[in-house]
Amino acid sequence: MTDATVSQTPSAKTVQGWIDERPIWPDGTSLPSVPMTSMQWLIWGLAAAGKFFEGFVVFMTGVALPLLSAEFHIGAAEHGIISAASLFGILIGAVALGGLSDRFGRKPMFIIEMVIFVVFLAALCVAPNYYLLVIFLFGLGLSLGCDYPTAHMIISESIPSLMRGKLVLGAFAFQAVGALAGTAVGYGVLATLPELSAWRWMYASALIPAILVLIGRFYIVESANWLFARGEAQRAEAAVKRLLVRTPQYPTDIKLITRDGASVSGHGGGTSYAALFNKTNLRATILASVPWFLQDLGTYGIGIFTPTILAAAVGANADHARSVADIIANDITAAKGAALITTLLIVGIIFAVLLADVVGRIRLQVLGFVGCAAGLLLASFSSMVSGGASTLLIFAGFMLFNFMTNLGPNAQTYLLAGEVFPTAIRGKGAGFAAAFAKVGAVLTAFLFPILLTSIGTTALLYGLIVTSILGAIVTWLFKIETTGINLDELEQQ
């Protein structure tokens, strides 16, 4: 057998070729699939933790907002700035820091982003005023923005091709887990400590876990794909050996070549951001960026302001709160509803993990956008009825929206952005896509509290229905299917 020959006389392969190689043990037994090594699982777990913190911090803000508003005596505009601060930080971080992983390496930026997160999270817990609060939230966003491209690449460049969709989305699923955990922790802290300063303890709860994740990131291996793309063949071979440590060891001898046997070079006409817009890469840039932007308009708007919208829908409007106790009670009521709705994010991402490598990224993204529009339309009908029927419609609509967004665009846009670009500009491409998407998130977070007051919930929902349909159209027009395709092959497209 060919595999048996390979096991006896190791040949030169690409980095991804070695990662995809099925082990043949000394007795000639061939495994049915490629087993993950402990190093690969460590990389995956530490990347998943980063996505958890994003969901935890960003969505917890929805629970913390009424407390922040009361403590710092702020209005609707300041409300929006607080909500948008971390998202604007993500926008800047994805471009300014995420792209640096193409220059300095995946591992250094993987560590630096967590250092930034820990520092600003600790500062946020003791923020003395509104202005520093905004600065510290922005700092958290810088870290989370860097994580968007870096976490994806450090996973996808280190794991077998046939498992890439499941594992990347499995890590991304922890954003939804973090969102639910953030809402749950917010509720728990409010119930235990019913006072305005409770929001500080909400954020502080993530500090020790973040420090542990930071320490763990020092122990991973650098991306061999990145090293080899830079022409550092010996370091890349050493990285592959460390990545693929098994008992018994396989492979025992590693030699790397390019896919076509040629010398390593950049792809797509350069390694600057301008390369994203040349003839070779423009289609990928549009596919990775525009649908993600349209998706974030809805996901962050609905996600952050679900407690506020629910409070208004069920009659627990904080505007009528007469005391701190009223504010806490209203916030707890809204947090309970938000937690129920957020669970559908997790259900949606579970289906995305199961289906991404079967149905395909593009089909799921189109289906998800259409489903999001259906959910928002259902929620908009709540304005036409009253009482229990109104509450039921808005709950059902938001639950359908959360399920479909994580089945489709919220998961698939993240997955595609880290796959459609060549190695030399993968960090810049994924970083630009994330940053462009967060323009939508920032606009939504800043404008939502103002628009909720001026035009109402129903009009906002209609607008998001339109953007969801546009997302489906753009995805189909510029589709690039990456399901199950080796990263080496994607380099050649």
Tens digit of each residue's pLDDT (9 = 90 or more) over 436-463: 988 887 787 777 767 777 777 778 888 8
Burial of 176-202, coded b for 16+ CB within 10 Å and e otherwise, reads bbbbbbbbbbbbebbeeeeebebbbbb
Residue 379 to residue 360: CA distance in whole angstroms: 29
According to DSSP, residue 221 is labeled P
Burial of 299-315, coded b for 16+ CB within 10 Å and e otherwise, reads bbbbbbbbbbbbbbbbe
According to DSSP, residue 248 is labeled S
According to DSSP, residue 21 is labeled P
Token representation of residue 250 = 């396989």
Please list the ranges in the chain whose pLDDT falls under 50: 1-9, 262-270, 315-324, 326-327
Q: Which domains does the chain have, with CATH numbers?
A: 38-227+279-483 (1.20.1250.20)
User: Do 344 and 399 meet the contact criterion of CB atoms below 8 Å apart?
Assistant: yes
Residue 110 to residue 216: CA distance in whole angstroms: 11
The closest of 486, 477, 346, 482 to 415, measured between CA atoms, is 482
Residue 404 to residue 226: CA distance in whole angstroms: 34
User: Do 90 and 146 meet the contact criterion of CB atoms below 8 Å apart?
Assistant: no
- Report pLDDT for 261: 53
User: Do 229 and 424 meet the contact criterion of CB atoms below 8 Å apart?
Assistant: yes
Residue 438 to residue 59: CA distance in whole angstroms: 15
What's the length of the chain?
A: 493
Residue 116 to residue 350: CA distance in whole angstroms: 30
- Report pLDDT for 204: 92
Strand (E) or helix (H) holding 157: none
- Report pLDDT for 337: 55
